[in-house]
Amino acid sequence: MSDKGRTRVFVYGTLLSGEPNSHLLERGDLVSKATTEPSFELVSLGAFPGMVAGGETAVRGEVYAVDRWTLTAMDRLEGHPRFYRREPIRMDDGTEALAYLLSGEQAAGRTKIASGDWRSHRKERWT
């Protein structure tokens, strides 16, 4: 998950390119658009999503290579480790990246995003 001193991180919500918090990734390099293995659930927390391990959904997002400063800024935004927990996950191409996950308890009762795509879900909600 490390590339030349940089850490690979999978983002799937407000950190995606063009989204409200994408400015935090200005020092990062977009590695690729990416999809997780189908072993998660994506839920809506209103203004942002949460990903939970243990489901059957492939979540769509982007992988960035980030420096230590950017990872620290992302940890602050995501409330790691108090709210989200940063953990390694597997992508559908077999590579690994870190991702910010919610616990099942935090996601209980939240609307599931069956498509695994936050942007599509958000557009559907507002059209």
What are the DSSP calls for 8-65, one per residue? EEEE-STTSTTSTTGGGGTTSEEEEEEEB-S-EEEEE-SSSEEEEETSSBPPEEEEEE
Rounded CA-CA distance 68/73 in Å is 9
Instruction: Tell me the pLDDT tens digit for each residue of 18-38.
Output: 999 999 999 999 999 999 999
CATH number at residue 101: 3.10.490.10
Instruction: Tell me the pLDDT tens digit for each residue of 90-120.
Output: 999 999 999 999 999 999 999 999 999 999 9
Rounded CA-CA distance 37/17 in Å is 21
Rounded CA-CA distance 5/68 in Å is 8
With respect to residue 91, please indicate whether it lies within any of the assigned structural domains.
yes
Confidence band for 45, pLDDT divided at 50, 70 and 90: very high
With respect to residue 87, please indicate whether it lies within any of the assigned structural domains.
yes
With respect to residue 58, please indicate whether it lies within any of the assigned structural domains.
yes
With respect to residue 64, please indicate whether it lies within any of the assigned structural domains.
yes
With respect to residue 127, please indicate whether it lies within any of the assigned structural domains.
no
> What's the pTM?
0.94
For the chain, what is the mean pLDDT? 94
Out of 62, 78, 87, 105, which one is annotated catalytic? 78
In angstroms, how far apart are the furthest CA atoms of the chain?
A: 42
The total number of structural domains that make up the chain: 1
Q: What is the DSSP letter of 113?
A: -
Residue 78 a catalytic site member: yes
Structural domain range at position 35: 2-122
